[in-house]
Amino acid sequence: MRTLARWARAEWGPLHVIVRHALTERRLRAVPMALGAVCLTAALQFTQNQSWGYQFVQHTGAVRADDPLWLALLRTPLSLFVPALDLPVWGALVQLLLVFGIAEICLGRWRTLAIAYVATLAGTLYARAAIALGPHTPLGLPTTDAHVVDTGPSAAVVGLALYLAHRYGARVTGAGVIAAMVAEVLVKNNLAGKEHLAAIAGVAALCGAQSLLSGRGNRGSRGPGRTAPAASGGAPASGGGTGGRLGAGAGSGSRPGPGRGSRSARSGARSAGRGTRSAGRGSRSASGAGSASPPVRV
């Protein structure tokens, strides 16, 4: 049990701290976008199940591979919140509340929406390319899938979960998400499952590009052959002495206690005085030794 608790803290500890702090401080005001997404999805689900609202939802938020590309791109933002008709809506609402809420707290609203859109758009574009390839290729789809409505909030949820796992080092969780989507395709080889894999591929490419750019930025900021500056007097700067420790403490935001600076100054002055006296004794000893040497007899 303790091993499981340690693993959970290592896997989800950073996420738990951030989310708990935000919810403790602001309550539901910390996740307004997630609550809005849940309400919008519930409203669209109610509307598309009515005789007067089905065509409205289909014309504004349903995306199919046989639609013109410009129309599909225009409908894609709303398609994030149009749930599938053949699945219970409560599962989609819970997924939206949890994943969108955590992402909104940890990533911010606009980044959350951007990653969700990238994941959904990857699935939409994949469907078009796969239908063009045909069912005889490994990544292809039959032409009948061109009339099937693309996946709704699930692709965005999968993409956001994978991005959060990558950003906060939850490797087991990220691997579990990928494994679950692969198992879905193996059990039920349909358009939605393959679009989930396309969403994973799109978000994985985004994470790889960000890691590559951040690595280049860190190497550029360090620069080749850059060394630490030398201290005054030609001695190299070292963090092992008192000055190095005081500098490190100041850099970390800690303040010295009262009188600590004056005591350090007095101890430095005494050390300098002892050094001067030692140098004086050394010079006198050298001169005395020179004068006391006996003359050489010829």
Token pair recorded at residue 51: 């005789």
249-297: pLDDT as tens digits: 334 444 444 444 445 545 554 555 555 455 455 444 444 444 444 444 4
Residues in the chain, overall count: 298
Q: Tell me the two tokens of residue 142.
A: 């039959």
Taking 90 as the threshold, does the pLDDT of residue 21 lie above it?
yes
Query: Which residue ranges form the domains of the chain, and what is each CATH number?
Result: 2-214 (1.20.1540.10)
Highest-pLDDT range among 44-48, 188-192, 289-293: 44-48
Write out pLDDT tens, residues 60-76.
Answer: 999 999 899 999 999 99
CA dihedral in degrees (12, 16, 17, 21; nearest 10)? 170
Joined together, the tokens standing for residue 184 give 């879905």
CB neighbours of residue 191 within 10 Å: 22
Distance CA 157, CA 12 (A): 18
Looking at residue 27, the DSSP 8-state letter turns out to be G
CA 67, 181, 202, 61 torsion: positive or negative? positive
**What is residue 199's predicted lDDT score, i.e. its pLDDT?**
94
Cα–Cα distance, 254 to 248 (Å, whole number): 9
Does residue 72 or residue 217 have the better pLDDT? 72
Quick one: which H or E segment has residue 189? Answer: none
Residue partners of 284: CB distance under 8 A and separation at least 6:
none
pLDDT band with cut points at 50, 70 and 90 for residue 214:
confident
pLDDT of 126 over the 70 cut: yes
Each residue's pLDDT tens digit, 95-121:
999 999 999 999 999 999 999 999 999
